[in-house]
Every structure is written in structure tokens, then in C-alpha cells.
Homo-oligomer: A and B are copies of this chain.
Amino acid sequence: MDEPRWLDEREDRAWRGYRRMRRLLDLELARELMQDAGLSEPDYDVLSDLSETPEQRLRLSELADRMLWSRSRLSHHISRMQQRGLVTREECATDGRGSVVALTPAGRQAVEAAAPGHVAAVRRHLIDRLTPAEMSALGTLSQRVIDHLTGRVTGHPEAKD
């Protein structure tokens, strides 16, 4: 193992800043969402993903993949949301093993009630704090990191590879 190459000042600033922003943003968005709509962020994400779908329903594994959750986690979470009447489980027509998660009317109503306030909070705490250039930079930088982590691409951003 070579001697470690620590972060220089600029790198450290970006890394620590990113993590602190992350944490504060999470805390605040979760707080407001719970207060205004009675939903946790995971709740909201599930409802939101389902509502963006044409049929308001998704295979459990499909939803888990989109959210980057384990099937186990999603299964537990869906059970809890089912208890609260936000979603239901249906059998899958094409695969006897499968189960389909569907939004209930109450679930749809919950996202629709929550969404405007949540988007406004995201705007207030993040979007409106960014210059257009920063917004673009965040978008492209995120995408590049995602591509790298999902193995679609390697190499330094400058390298055309």
C-alpha cells in the first residue's frame, strides 16, 4: 500500500460541504414533509414513483430497482404502507411468483397533496440557491459519477477515452 494521497484544500471543501449539505437538506426536507403531509421521505419516494407510472402500479422488483432498494426493504416498507391504506399488493398476471404494488385512491391523494409542498421545499432549500451554471454542473457531475458507479463508463471526465 502506497502512502495515502489525502484531499487537498479544494477537494476537502467539496467533500465535506457535500456531506454536510446532504445531511442538512435531508433533515429539513424530511421534517417539512412529515409535518405538512405526514409522510416520510421513503414513503414519498414510493408514492411518487408509482404515480409517475401509467397504470399507477409496478412490479415489486421493478420498483425496487428504480429506487435502488433491496427487495427485502421494499417488501417490508410496502407492508407498512399497505397497513396505512396507501398501496395494495396485487397478483401478477404474467408471473405467478410476482406481486404488483398499486397506488390506492388514498395513496394517490396523499402524493398529490404532498407534492406541491415538497417541490416547493426542494426549490426553496436547494434549487433557488443555485446559479444556472451550478445547476447544470450538478446535473452533469452527478450523471458522470452515476455512470462510473454503474459501470457504464470509466476514466477521468477530461479523458475522451
Contacts and interface: CB of A to CB of B under 8 A. Distances in A.
Contacts of A131: 157-158
B139 A156 contact: no
Contact of A4 (B20, B115, B136): B115
Nearest to A133: B137
A22 interface: yes
Interface of A: 1, 3-7, 10-11, 13-15, 17-18, 20-25, 27-28, 68, 115-117, 119-120, 122-123, 125-146, 148-150, 156-158
A135 B11 contact: yes
Contact of A157 (B27, B115, B129): B129
Nearest to A126: B145
B18 A142 contact: yes
- Chain A binding surface, main DSSP class: helix
Nearest to A29: B149
Nearest to A144: B129
Contacts of A11: 123, 127, 135
B21 A127 contact: no
Nearest to A68: B23
25 contacts: A1-B117, A4-B120, A7-B119, A10-B132, A11-B127, A13-B143, A14-B135, A14-B139, A15-B127, A17-B139, A17-B143, A18-B142, A20-B146, A21-B145, A21-B146, A22-B22, A24-B68, A25-B145, A28-B149, A125-B145, A125-B148, A129-B145, A129-B148, A134-B140, A137-B141
